[in-house]
Amino acid sequence: MNPPFRLYIICLLLLALTACTSAPVSADNSTHTISTPDPDAVKLIAMGEQAMQIAQKSLGMVLRQVDTDLTTTDFRFVDRALTREIVILVPESDAPTEKWITSVNTVSPILSYAQPALDLHNLRIGPKRVAQAIMNHWPGCSVRGANLYLENNKLIWLVFCNTSKGVVSGSMDNETGVFQPSNAPPASVPATATPVP
């Protein structure tokens, strides 16, 4: 086989592989696996690695949850004994690490149960796709926030959106990209306490 023909065959194989690995997720909720991470998922992975370096100053910390409102993001770590939560708050996606805020909590819902660590290297779906999915389902809603957590050893996004009738929610599987709206009716936002004059 001459070299130009070999190069032609290699190019055809690469094109075929690319076409096979980037199949879109269908709107009919059929299951597909997403192989290429969203650009904002790649950014979240990089921020998570930096947050892990900060959290690892305290030995034995594992990532359990990521929360974002598409501007601020916090990475929630716990120690193996479930006695401390370290929260690393990224005030905006492009903030340098010296502007990140670290806090330690001894009371937190995620300290009440053992769970494997999140592996962000498996993240394919970024928060922008999740936000777009809930806004498509409830047109006119404004995204309140999204949480990334582990359920049955799978990365799941849980997203909340404000509507005129209350807060609605839905989830998205990281592997398939299928959005599942909650069947619960819109929830009213609890009133905040105001100081008595």
With 80 as the cut, is the pLDDT of residue 117 above it?
yes
With 80 as the cut, is the pLDDT of residue 65 above it?
yes
Task: Average the pLDDT over each of 35-49, 50-64, 122-136 and give the range with the smallest value.
Answer: 50-64
Alpha-carbon Rg for the chain in angstroms: 20
Chain mean pLDDT for the chain: 82
pLDDT in tens, 81-93: 899 999 999 999 8
- The reported pTM is 0.72
pLDDT of residue 59: 64
Sequence-separated (6 or more) residues with CB below 8 Å from residue 32: 23, 24, 25, 26, 176, 177
Query: Would you list the domain boundaries of the chain?
Result: 39-118
* pLDDT tier for residue 53 given thresholds of 50, 70 and 90: confident
As a whole-number percent, the residues of the chain with pLDDT over 90 amount to: 58
